[in-house]
């Protein structure tokens, strides 16, 4: 039987951005449904270790945080967006505390309790508020618990969006959103969810690469959905590679937090010699793009599989108290970080580009919003500074909430939406095609569109992505959809967007480094790379 549900607000994604928005709307008596592709904790927020940047130290300042963010963004940050975000840091932390999030504290010299602040790469001061080394988990679990208890929020896990539904309009945007077709993977049927407002909070696209710190859910779904619906995307060439992912055959996606380097961890070669001072005067605390390229350079130059991050010179009690999650996880793999260095490699970590939005998280399509990593707000520019991402989620969820509350009363009714039609497709007898194409895509993206690029590598990648896109489109047309197929279909689109943006930028800037144009172009003002459907 066809299934149609009418909603006020549909939020796609259950991470920090989506749940923050849901709770803020629900408090204003708005009915909200939150979709999660897998379990509610499957978001990148849950796995975030470091923390949330905000100015609390008396020696720090808003202006310093702004300056650091602009510097890390390599000329492409929007200064007004940076200021808007940074000035809301303290308020965002206080709101999380009202939601039950417990942050790590310490006693100051006067014996008073205060927030403990970490320092991370690119920051000139200690300003990273954290919950030990599992900040994202603390935030995620608290927000999920609040959402589960709220009568105005419906949580729908194991629901994967197939397509956004739009209608043509006479306004400047030319389209408005009216809902989405959604695959209920537990009941294996497609539902029609009509909604006055739809919000994309789906996270990034880092599973486009063979090695990633992200959960398997980070397949660029929101970016691909918005692109197919008619939204512009921007700056997709700026894929951030975290410098330090645990190098172990059974732990490809375990992140070693930047906070280790903030507390004195040194990057070394197997013989114990350091190398970061050759690349940047800030050493281990240089921005992530510089550190990742330095590690990549050393690995390729020496033909080695990894480098090492050593914090064993610190007292064992200090390490265990400050980094309990990392300590235990490494110990599970036979590495005692109090006594030996940690083998690390760079891995795809964060999507700095995404769906273009304004300062209220509005996209090119009327009533469609994008918040969090899926969006390109102008905060991160060519390189995201550490721990600004969760701050962006909180600030722009708040901004979207304010705009949605103004918008909702003007939307009177929703048109009837036709049910999903799968009468002309059959069950697949070739599931191996999905797995094969997934692996091929992630391999060539890693090899050709990784930390260091060339025109030749990008052209090779585009040729392969175009072939894969045809195969996947044909497969999608003939067989019933599965969650794996939806992810692959989205991922191949996102891979193409990354490649096309990278081809357009004829310089090296921030996270985009190409051997064919190794210098930053100083002859013209820096511009965003914008793709139009």
Domain of 19, CATH number, reads: 3.50.50.60
pLDDT at 287 (0 to 100): 83
Hey, which residues are catalytic here?
288
pLDDT number for residue 103: 97
529 lies in some domain = no
pLDDT of residue 423: 66
Clarify whether residues 205 and 118 are in a common domain: yes
The pLDDT of residue 424 is: 64
pLDDT (0 to 100) of residue 38: 96
Q: What is the pLDDT of residue 35?
A: 98
**Predicted confidence (pLDDT) at residue 274 exceeds the cutoff of 80:** yes
pLDDT over threshold 70, residue 430 = no
For position 352, what pLDDT does the model report? 97
pLDDT of residue 480: 86
Residues 211 and 256 placed together within one structural domain of the fold: no
Q: What is the pLDDT of residues 432-459, one digit of tens each?
A: 788 889 999 999 999 899 999 999 999 9
pLDDT of residue 454: 96
pLDDT at 27: 98
Model pLDDT, residue 426: 66
Give the integer Cα–Cα distance in Å for 512 and 514.
Answer: 7
Q: What is the CATH number of the domain that holds 334?
A: 3.90.700.10
Question: Which backbone phi and psi does 156 adopt, to 5 degrees?
Answer: -120, 95
In a domain, 21, yes or no: yes
Bridge partners (DSSP) listed for residue 354? 234
Q: Are residues 361 and 436 in the same domain?
A: no
For residues 150 and 202, state if they share a domain.
yes
Helix (H, G, I), strand (E, B) or coil at 83: helix
Query: Where does a domain end: 329, 349, 369?
Result: 349
pLDDT per residue over 490-506, tens digit each?
999 999 999 999 999 99
User: Does the structure show a pLDDT above 60 at 1?
Assistant: no
> Within the chain, what is the greatest distance between any pair of CA atoms?
73
Rounded Cα distance, 156 and 331, in Å: 36
Say yes or no: 220 and 257 in one domain.
no
Instruction: Determine, yes or no, domain membership for 501.
Output: yes
- Which whole number is the average pLDDT over 407-431? 81
Within this chain, do residues 156 and 24 fall inside the same structural domain, yes or no?
A: yes
- The token pair at 164 is 């956004």
The pTM (predicted TM-score) of the whole model is 0.92
Q: Comparing 81 with 477, which gets the higher pLDDT? A: 81
Are residues 160 and 135 part of one domain?
Answer: yes
155-171 confidence digits (pLDDT tens): 999 999 999 999 999 98
SS3 content of the chain, % helix, strand, coil (to 5): 40, 20, 40
137 and 34 both lie in a single domain: yes
Q: Give the separation between CA 475 and CA 481, rounded to whole angstroms.
A: 9
CATH number at residue 510: 1.20.58.100
Residues 176 and 221 in one domain: yes
Q: Are residues 168 and 281 in the same domain?
A: no
* Per-residue pLDDT band at 300 (split at 50, 70, 90): confident
Distance between CA atoms of residues 204 and 221, nearest Å:
8
Are 309 and 288 within one domain?
A: yes
Kindly give the pairing relationship between strand 342-351 and strand 307-310. Answer: antiparallel
* Inside any domain, residue 97: yes
Last residue in a domain, options 330, 349, 368:
349
| 3-class SS string, 32-55 | EEEECCCCCCCCHHHHCCCCEECC
Average pLDDT score, the chain: 94
Beta strand residue intervals within 187-341, DSSP E = 189-200, 233-234, 239-246, 266-268, 307-310
Given 322, 349, 376, which residue is the final one in a domain?
A: 349
| φ, ψ (nearest 5 deg) of residue 529 | -95, 120
Q: Is residue 201 a part of any domain in this protein?
A: yes
Residue 286 has pLDDT above 70, yes or no: yes
Question: Is 505 within the bounds of a domain?
Answer: yes
Bridge partners (DSSP) listed for residue 53: 128
User: Would you give the end-to-end CA distance of the chain in angstroms?
Assistant: 35
Q: Which comes out higher in pLDDT, residue 363 or 253?
A: 363
* Domain coverage including residue 503: 432-518
Using CB atoms within 10 Å of the CB of residue 263, give its burial: 0 to 12 exposed, 13 to 18 middle, 19+ buried: middle
pLDDT of res. 394:
98
Helix (H), strand (E) at residue 96 = helix 89-98
What pLDDT is stored for residue 194 in this prediction? 96
- Whether 526 is in a domain gets the answer no
Confidence of residue 288 (pLDDT cuts 50, 70, 90): confident
> What does the alpha-carbon distance between residue 279 and residue 319 come to, in Å, rounded to a whole number?
27
The answer to whether residues 360 and 451 belong to one domain is: no
Q: Would you state the pLDDT for residue 171?
A: 87
The confidence band for 247, taking pLDDT boundaries of 50, 70 and 90, is very high
DSSP-based three-state secondary structure for 115: strand
Q: Is the pLDDT of residue 249 over 90?
A: no
- How many domains does the chain fold into? 3
Tell whether 418 is covered by a domain. no
Q: Is residue 343 pLDDT above 80, yes or no?
A: yes
Which residues in 205-286 belong to E strands, given as ranges? 233-234, 239-246, 266-268
């Amino acid at each position: 039987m066809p299934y149609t549900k009418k909603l006020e607000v549909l939020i796609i994604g259950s991470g920090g951005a989506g749940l923050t928005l849901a709770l803020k709307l629900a408090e204003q008596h708005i009915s909200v449904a939150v979709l999660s592709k897998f379990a509610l904790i499957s978001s990148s927020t849950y796995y975030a270790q470091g923390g949330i940047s905000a100015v609390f130290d008396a020696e720090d300042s808003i202006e310093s945080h702004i300056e650091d963010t602009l510097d890390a963004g390599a000329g492409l940050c929007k200064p007004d967006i940076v200021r808007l975000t940074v000035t809301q840091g303290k308020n965002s932390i206080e709101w999380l505390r009202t939601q039950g999030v417990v942050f790590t504290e310490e006693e100051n010299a006067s014996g008073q309790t205060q927030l403990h602040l970490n320092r991370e790469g690119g920051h000139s001061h200690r300003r990273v508020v954290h919950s030990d080394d599992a900040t994202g988990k603390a935030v995620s679990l608290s927000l999920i618990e609040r959402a589960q208890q709220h009568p105005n929020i419906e949580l729908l896990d194991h629901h994967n969006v197939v397509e956004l539904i739009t209608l043509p309009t006479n306004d400047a945007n030319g389209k408005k959103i009216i809902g989405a077709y959604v695959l209920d993977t537990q009941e294996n049927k497609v539902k029609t969810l009509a909604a006055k407002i739809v919000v994309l909070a789906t996270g990034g696209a880092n599973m486009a690469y063979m090695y990633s710190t992200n959960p398997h859910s980070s397949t660029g779904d929101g970016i691909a959905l918005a692109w197919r619906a008619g939204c512009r995307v921007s700056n997709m060439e700026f894929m951030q590679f975290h410098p330090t992912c645990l190098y172990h055959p059974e732990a490809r996606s375990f992140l070693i937090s930047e906070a280790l380097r903030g507390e004195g961890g040194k990057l070394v070669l197997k013989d114990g010699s350091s190398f970061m001072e050759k690349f940047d005067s800030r050493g281990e605390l240089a921005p992530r793009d510089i550190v990742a390229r330095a590690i990549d350079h050393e690995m390729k130059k020496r033909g080695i599989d990894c480098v090492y991050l050593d914090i064993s010179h610190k007292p064992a009690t200090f390490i265990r108290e400050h980094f309990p999650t990392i300590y235990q996880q490494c110990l599970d793999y036979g590495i005692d970080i109090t006594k030996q260095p940690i083998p690390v490699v760079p891995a795809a970590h964060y999507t700095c580009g995404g769906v273009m939005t304004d300062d209220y998280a509005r996209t090119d399509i009327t009533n469609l919003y994008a918040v969090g990593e899926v969006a390109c707000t102008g905060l991160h520019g060519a390189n995201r500074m550490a721990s600004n991402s969760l701050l962006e989620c909180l600030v722009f969820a708040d901004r979207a909430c304010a705009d949605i509350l103004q918008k909702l009363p003007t939307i009177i009714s929703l048109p009837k939406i036709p049910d999903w039609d799968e009468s002309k497709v059959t069950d697949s007898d070739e599931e191996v095609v999905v797995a094969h194409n997934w692996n091929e895509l992630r391999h060539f993206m890693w090899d050709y569109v990784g930390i260091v690029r060339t025109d030749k590598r990008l052209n090779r990648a585009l040729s392969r992505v175009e072939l894969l896109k045809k195969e996947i489109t044909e497969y999608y047309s003939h067989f019933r959809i599965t969650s794996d197929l939806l992810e692959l279909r989205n991922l191949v689109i996102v891979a193409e967007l990354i490649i096309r943006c990278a081809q357009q930028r004829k310089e090296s800037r921030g996270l985009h480094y190409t051997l064919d144009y190794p210098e930053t172009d100083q002859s013209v003002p820096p511009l965003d790379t914008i793709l139009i459907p």
